[in-house]
Chains A and B, each alone.
Chain A
Amino acid sequence: MQIDRFIEQDVIITTVKGRLDSSSSHKLDDFLAEIPAGNNAILLDFAELTYISSAGLRVVLKATKLARSHGVALAICSLVPQVHEVFDVSGFTTLIPIHPDRGAALASFA
């Protein structure tokens, strides 16, 4: 799993590439453990996330709670169909804004 972070239109974008499961989820958990200074909105771009299990969902939920407790907006974009199904079945799609692509997500923060 590879994690990258950069800023676009004042939004902190984190991309995750590969598999987010019980063996890799702690890396993303560490990465998202702190809200960066400045309170910029956070976007998790999962375009290259090929797999997520409940261990990965827990990390996403924890990050969402942390952002909300700091008054920071957090959204997710670009889920592949199989990963989207996991978000649907878990009920997370009703809790976290999910956008079809990065452009739509950035527009939602504007």
Chain B
Amino acid sequence: MIIREIDLRLPNQLSQMEKLVAALEFFTETCAIPPKPAYRLTLAVDEFVNNAVDYGYGDGRPGEIGVHVRHLGDALELTLTDDGDPFDPFNAPPPDLTGSLEERRIGGLGVHLVRTMADSFAYKREDGRNVVSLRLALGEAPASSAPA
């Protein structure tokens, strides 16, 4: 059997990250994904799941986060969902990457990393869930937009 996708559902707890990373590594090794896109996939899941857990459930209610990855020819398609408060990460102000070290504030850095490394990204709110879709090319890809 050739594994082409994984579909995971997990509670909104950071203690789930280790298992999640192990599952992603198994998937990328099985699919022989090159190191760079494999790293980008893990980073995207890490950053967005952390954000959802940290900021999506302000009242501390239990929730469910979904991680769906598909290997489609020359790309990975990643869909991250959560039932946290509505939040469009791509609508948030980008971090200030131009200031001097002393001035540098790094809120939003995780989202910036992921959107820069992705070929495309999209957000929608659907059936009470935040849905983030990302496409990661397997060949030589973006991340060329180095900050000034």
Name A residues whose Cβ lies closer than 8 Å to a Cβ of B.
19, 21-23, 51, 53-55, 57-58, 61, 64-65, 68, 81-82, 85-86, 88-91, 94-96
The 3 A-B pairs of least Cβ separation, nearest first, read A91-B97, A54-B110, A82-B39
Is A54 within 8 A of B106, CB to CB? yes
B97: chain A residues at CB < 8 Å are: 90-91
Is A58 within 8 A of B109, CB to CB? yes
Tally of chain B residues near chain A (CB < 8 A): 28
A53: chain B residues at CB < 8 Å are: 43, 46-47, 50, 110, 113
* C-alpha spacing A89/B106, complex, angstroms: 13
A19: chain B residues at CB < 8 Å are: 21
Q: Provide the main secondary structure of the chain B interface.
A: helix
Name B residues whose Cβ lies closer than 8 Å to a Cβ of A.
14, 17-18, 21, 35-36, 39, 42-43, 46-47, 50, 97-98, 100-102, 104, 106, 109-110, 112-113, 116-117, 143, 146-147
Is A61 within 8 A of B143, CB to CB? no
Is B104 within 8 A of A95, CB to CB? yes
* C-alpha spacing A57/B17, complex, angstroms: 18
Contact for A90 among B17, B21, B112, CB less than 8 A: B112
The residue on B at minimum CB distance from A68 is B101
* C-alpha spacing A71/B12, complex, angstroms: 42
Is B117 within 8 A of A55, CB to CB? no
A68-B101, A85-B36, A85-B143 in contact; A90/B46 too (CB < 8 A)?
no
Is A89 within 8 A of B110, CB to CB? no
The residue on B at minimum CB distance from A82 is B39
B147: chain A residues at CB < 8 Å are: 89-91, 94
Known contacts A54-B113, A82-B36, A90-B112, then 4 further A-B pairs from the complex at CB < 8 Å, ordered by chain A residue: A55-B50, A57-B109, A89-B147, A90-B113
A23: chain B residues at CB < 8 Å are: 14, 17-18
Contact for A86 among B14, B50, B113, CB less than 8 A: B113
Is B104 within 8 A of A61, CB to CB? yes
Contact for B113 among A89, A94, A95, A96, CB less than 8 A: A89
The residue on A at minimum CB distance from B102 is A65
